[in-house]
Structures are given as structure tokens and as C-alpha cells.
């Protein structure tokens, strides 16, 4: 039976040792980098009456659900999208109602401003279809985002005046 060559064992040992010297420091540095807190930036909210704000994004895709937004928030640096805004009184604005609000870029050195929430404004558009007037109602936030009432227990009311005299009134229908 042939005995293994001692030189072969020594070469294998030194190859393993060199591999450990190269791989272990790199692995340790990667672990140290993971242990560091990510860079953070400021997001200022100009609106009022917000009870919940859901943002999606950042460096790694995740959701930031802010149930008590202040006038200023600190978030990990990255690009975010607003997914949902809830206001006091049961008003919500889902992502599909956020026309014109693209991405929010939170950067480390420059605060980003987000204009959502109150004060709210009511908007009514009137279209004529033959002898019928079609009234459309929208409730808009300061950034132009559209809110709807989730409770639907008090639909918006309207009154039509002609020369200072009320000639018609009613409630808007949901839908």
C-alpha cells in the first residue's frame, strides 16, 4: 500500500490557510457593513389630520406604515411611493387616487416635502346631458389627492340657487 506524500498534505494545508485569510476578512467586513444602520433622510409632511400613511420602497423594497405621522419623519434613504393615506373622520386615499404624485426621493442631505392631507377642499363639476345636470363631487387634499369617505353614512349634500333662491337640493350618491 502506498503512503500519501507528506508534501501533498502540506500543500493542502497551506492552500486552506490562504483561502481562510482571503475569505474570512471579506466575510467579516460584509457582516460589519450589514450591522451598520442605513443612511437616513428627512420627509416633511405639510398636510394635517393624517392618521395613517403607508409608504412602499426605500433601498430594499419594504413598507413603512406610519400611524402617527408628525410634521417630519426620518426614513431610510431611497425612493418611496405612497400606497395609502387615512385621515381623521374615516377618509382614505388609495394609491390609484394619487394622480400626479410619483415617487418621493428621500435623500440624506436634503429634506423631501410631501403635501398630502388637510386642509381639504370640495370640488363639484357640472355637466349637462340634455335636460339633466350631472353633478360630480370630489374631496381633494392639499396635494390634489382624492379622498373618499369609508363610512358612507353622511353623503355630501348640495343646494342649487337661482338669484339667491334655493331651487333644488339633495345628496350626492356614492359610486
pLDDT in the model for residue 92: 92
In a domain, 7, yes or no: no
Same domain, 126 and 153: yes
pLDDT in the model for residue 29: 43
pLDDT in the model for residue 147: 92
What does the pLDDT look like over 130-140, one tens digit per residue? 998 888 889 99
In a domain, 51, yes or no: yes
Quote the domain boundaries for residue 57.
40-114
- Count: domains in the chain: 2
Same domain, 108 and 125: no
What does the pLDDT look like over 12-41, one tens digit per residue? 554 555 444 444 444 444 444 455 777 889
pLDDT in the model for residue 24: 44
Same domain, 51 and 105: yes
The string over 137-164, giving b where at least 16 C-beta atoms fall within 10 Å of a residue's C-beta and e elsewhere, is bebebebebebebeeeeeeeeeeeeeee
What does the pLDDT look like over 82-121, one tens digit per residue? 888 999 888 999 888 777 676 888 999 889 999 999 999 9
Of the two residues 124 and 61, the one the predictor is more confident about is 124
Mean pLDDT within 56-84:
79
Same domain, 79 and 107: yes
Same domain, 135 and 100: no
* DSSP calls for 60-102: TTEEEEESS--SEEEEESEEEEEEEEEETTTEEEEGGG-TT--
Last residue of one domain, picked from the residues 80, 98, 114: 114
Q: How confident is the model at residue 66 (pLDDT cuts 50, 70, 90)?
A: confident
Q: What cell numbers appear for 149 in the block?
A: 369617505
In a domain, 47, yes or no: yes
Same domain, 100 and 131: no
Same domain, 153 and 96: no
pLDDT in the model for residue 123: 92
Mean pLDDT within 74-83:
88
What does the pLDDT look like over 154-167, one tens digit per residue? 778 888 899 999 99
pLDDT in the model for residue 72: 82
pLDDT in the model for residue 4: 55
In a domain, 4, yes or no: no
In a domain, 68, yes or no: yes
In a domain, 18, yes or no: no
Last residue of one domain, picked from the residues 71, 89, 114: 114
Same domain, 135 and 97: no
Cα–Cα dist 11/19, whole Å: 12
Amino acid at each position: 500500500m502506498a503512503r500519501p506524500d507528506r508534501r501533498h498534505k502540506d500543500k493542502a494545508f497551506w492552500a486552506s490557510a490562504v483561502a481562510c485569510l482571503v475569505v474570512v476578512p471579506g466575510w467579516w467586513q460584509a457582516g460589519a457593513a450589514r450591522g451598520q444602520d442605513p443612511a437616513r433622510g428627512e420627509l416633511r409632511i405639510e398636510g394635517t389630520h393624517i392618521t395613517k400613511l403607508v409608504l412602499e420602497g426605500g433601498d430594499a423594497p419594504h413598507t413603512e406604515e406610519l400611524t402617527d405621522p408628525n410634521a417630519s419623519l426620518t426614513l431610510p434613504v431611497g425612493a418611496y411611493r405612497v400606497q395609502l393615506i387615512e385621515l381623521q373622520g374615516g377618509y382614505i386615499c388609495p394609491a390609484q387616487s394619487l394622480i400626479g404624485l410619483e415617487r418621493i426621493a428621500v435623500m440624506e442631505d436634503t429634506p423631501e416635502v410631501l403635501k398630502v392631507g388637510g386642509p381639504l377642499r370640495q370640488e363639484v363639476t357640472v355637466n349637462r346631458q340634455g335636460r339633466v345636470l350631472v353633478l360630480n363631487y370630489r374631496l381633494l387634499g392639499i396635494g390634489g389627492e382624492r379622498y373618499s369617505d369609508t363610512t358612507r353614512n353622511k353623503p355630501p349634500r348640495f343646494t342649487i340657487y337661482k338669484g339667491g333662491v334655493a331651487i333644488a337640493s339633495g345628496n350626492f350618491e356614492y359610486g
